[in-house]
């Protein structure tokens, strides 16, 4: 998360992680200050790549792309070329949002993850290439640079290529991620040969060199996304996918297209804000919640009293019940405009009792809970001119589906699990999904990623986002409120405990 206040850039080099269901955890992140721009990412080497590009004369878009590509090297549990994401950018008075979310392969069907009784088989949408959507990151990062970048493309790719070629040391975070994911990674010889040498997790301090990824990045620098969505890399993806029962093809990769979306624009507490629209639900949840909380007098309530916790819970309960209606923007059962309409939010206000909790069953007809993968990563960049990019990218689960593409050097995602395999029934991760998010070829799956930029007339700019699956919007909103309403510095805002409610399960 980064904040620029009238020329002073403050950097918080931390993206929040998911909270345990029964425990609120907080840690005080490090802060950095500067006047030439700021980069925040989850891994220091990736942050350094973005800073290198700013120092070379690049703008926020250049640095964001460089940081994202470096994350694909040194933070492979979530950083990626085989996944997708969203970006929100503000350059001057222009605000744009880029959708590079994965799509369902052409051979996908709405029964592919069901057993003979029509019940979901969780492993099929989580493990192995059948769980993989068509990656959007190669086209998305290139599109962001093509539209807004200033430096030559090859210059922006170079820090990541260099990291992959020269290698980097395994840190404690990567060691823990590999340890946690070992049962998944050892299923695939292609993965284990690189990430579990000798069958073991590399020790902290071990130097990893990724020549296949370095070569892919070299081709990417020379040819753009076609280097990955076509030619030998695309063939390698199709081959390894088929070997392990997947349906992802080179034609799927070649046919992928990014989409520039209208941002979700909203105001609150003296700030203007922009976030991501469908197929992300995050921007809508932030807009609805901000508008309703301001009308409920949030700023005047005691900061640490029960009143604020109660209102947050009631607002989140209703926002996530609305989320049930959402999906790919081409097929969604309700539009963000309808769900932000004055009469709709008035019904929210009318239904909120200041003294009693609303049973979730009274908000919308219940369905079993569904959760979303937590292993996402976010980066924020603000340059010296105040241009800002907030970018969230993911493989969905830790190391995606677990399959590493030999010869190409990247993991494939398991984003197909974000579809409703059986609408009204749960996937592994607890969020409700409706018919609008059912599996269809070419459809984008619903997401909670919430890259967000906020600004004021005096030149203050805040870029933020995070990881945490279904908790991303609720985390993002609470950090936003801590800063823009209560005046917290960024380190304090990130370190505060937060609460979460997502309609169902009806649990705080």
Q: How does pLDDT run along the chain (508 residues), one tens digit per residue?
A: 676 654 444 443 333 332 222 333 344 556 677 788 999 999 999 999 999 999 999 999 999 999 999 999 999 999 999 999 999 999 999 999 999 999 999 999 999 999 999 989 999 999 999 999 999 999 999 999 999 999 999 999 999 999 999 999 999 999 999 999 999 999 999 999 999 999 999 999 999 999 999 999 999 999 999 999 999 999 999 999 999 999 999 999 999 999 999 999 999 999 999 999 999 999 999 999 999 999 999 999 999 889 999 999 999 999 999 998 999 999 888 899 999 999 999 999 999 998 888 877 777 644 444 455 567 999 999 999 999 999 999 999 999 999 999 999 999 999 999 998 877 666 555 666 778 899 999 999 999 999 999 999 999 999 999 998 889 999 999 999 999 999 999 999 999 999 999 987 778 8
- Token output for 54: 């700013």
- Per-residue model confidence (pLDDT) at position 28: 55
**By three-state DSSP, how is residue 101 classified?**
coil
Predicted confidence at residue 50, as pLDDT, reads 98
CB 327 within 8 A of CB 271: no
- Residue 451: closest CA among 376, 358, 361: 376
Q: At what angle do helices 44-55 and 153-166 cross, to 10 degrees?
A: 150
Q: Given this model, what pLDDT does residue 364 score?
A: 64
Closest by CA to 340, choosing from 330, 354, 326, is 326
Confidence (pLDDT) at 331: 86
Q: Per the structure block, which two tokens stand in for 181?
A: 């994911």
Q: Give the active site residue among 376, 392, 452, 476.
A: 376
Residue 503: predicted pLDDT: 82
Q: Which residues on neighbouring strands pair with residue 464, listed in sequence order?
A: 452
The torsion angle over the Cα atoms of residues 270, 274, 275 and 276, rounded to 10 degrees, is 150
Distance between CA atoms of 222 and 158, rounded to whole angstroms? 11
| CA dihedral sign of residues 53, 58, 61, 62 | negative
pLDDT of residue 356: 85
Q: Examine the residue annotation and report whether 376 is marked as an active-site residue of this protein.
A: yes
Give the helix ranges, DSSP H, for 296-417.
Answer: 306-323, 336-339, 342-351, 360-363
Alpha carbon 142 to chain centroid, angstroms: 18
CA distance 337 to 340: 5
In sign, the C-alpha dihedral spanning 425, 427, 429, 432 is: negative
Instruction: State the pLDDT at residue 4.
Output: 65
Return the closest-CA partner of residue 219 out of 274, 284, 295, 138.
138
* 379, β-bridge pairs: 391
> What's this model's pTM, rounded to 2 decimal places?
0.92
Which is nearest to 108 in space by CA: 133, 127, 128, 85?
A: 133
Distance CA 400, CA 412 (A): 6
**pLDDT confidence of residue 9:** 41
Return the DSSP state at 365: -
């Amino acid at each position: 998360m980064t904040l620029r206040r009238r020329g002073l850039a403050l950097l918080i080099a931390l993206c929040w992680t998911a909270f345990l269901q029964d425990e609120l955890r907080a840690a005080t992140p490090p802060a950095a200050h500067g006047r030439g721009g700021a980069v925040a990412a989850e891994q220091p080497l990736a942050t350094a790549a973005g800073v290198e590009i700013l120092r070379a004369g690049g703008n926020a878009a250049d640095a964001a792309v460089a940081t994202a590509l470096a994350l694909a090297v040194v933070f492979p549990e979530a950083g990626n070329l085989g996944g997708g994401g969203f970006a929100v950018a503000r350059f001057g008075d222009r605000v744009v949002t880029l959708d590079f979310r994965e799509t369902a392969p052409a051979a996908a069907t709405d029964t592919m993850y069901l057993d003979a009784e029509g019940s979901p088989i969780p492993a099929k949408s989580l493990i192995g290439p059948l769980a993989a959507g068509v990656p959007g990151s190669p086209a998305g990062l290139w599109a962001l640079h093509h539209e807004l970048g200033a430096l030559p493309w090859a210059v922006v790719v170079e820090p990541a290529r260099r990291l992959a070629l020269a290698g980097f040391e395994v840190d404690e975070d990567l060691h823990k991620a590999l340890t946690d994911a070992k049962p998944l990674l050892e299923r695939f010889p292609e993965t284990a040969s690189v990430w579990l040498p000798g069958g073991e997790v590399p020790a902290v301090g071990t130097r990893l060199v990724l020549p296949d990824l370095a070569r892919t990045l070299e081709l990417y620098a020379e040819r753009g996304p076609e280097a990955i969505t076509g030619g030998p890399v695309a063939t390698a993806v199709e081959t390894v996918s088929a070997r392990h029962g997947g349906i992802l093809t080179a034609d799927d990769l070649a046919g992928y297209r990014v989409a520039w979306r209208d941002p979700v624009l909203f105001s609150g507490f003296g700030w203007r804000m922009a976030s991501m629209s469908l197929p992300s639900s995050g921007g809508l949840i932030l807009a609805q919640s901000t508008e309703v909380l301001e009308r409920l007098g949030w700023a005047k309530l005691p900061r640490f009293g029960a009143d604020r916790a109660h209102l947050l819970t009631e607002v989140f309960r209703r926002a996530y019940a609305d989320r049930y209606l959402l999906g790919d923007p081409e097929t969604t059962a309700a539009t963000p405009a309808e769900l932000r309409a004055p009469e709709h939010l008035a019904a929210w206000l009318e239904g909120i009792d200041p003294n009693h909790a609303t049973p979730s069953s009274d908000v919308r007809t219940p369905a079993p809970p569904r959760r979303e993968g937590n292993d996402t990563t976010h980066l924020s960049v603000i340059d010296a001119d105040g241009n800002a990019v907030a970018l969230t990218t993911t493989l969905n689960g830790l190391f995606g589906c677990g399959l590493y593409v030999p010869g190409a050097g990247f993991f494939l995602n398991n984003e197909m699990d974000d579809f409703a395999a059986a609408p009204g029934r749960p996937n592994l991760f607890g969020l409700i999904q409706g018919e609008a998010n059912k599996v269809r070829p070419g459809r984008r799956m619903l997401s909670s990623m919430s890259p967000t930029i906020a600004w004021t007339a005096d030149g203050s700019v805040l870029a933020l986002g995070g990881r945490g699956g279904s908790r991303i919007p609720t985390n993002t909103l609470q950090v936003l409120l801590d800063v823009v309403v209560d005046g917290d510095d960024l380190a304090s805002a990130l370190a505060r405990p937060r609460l979460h409610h997502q309609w169902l399960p009806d649990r705080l």
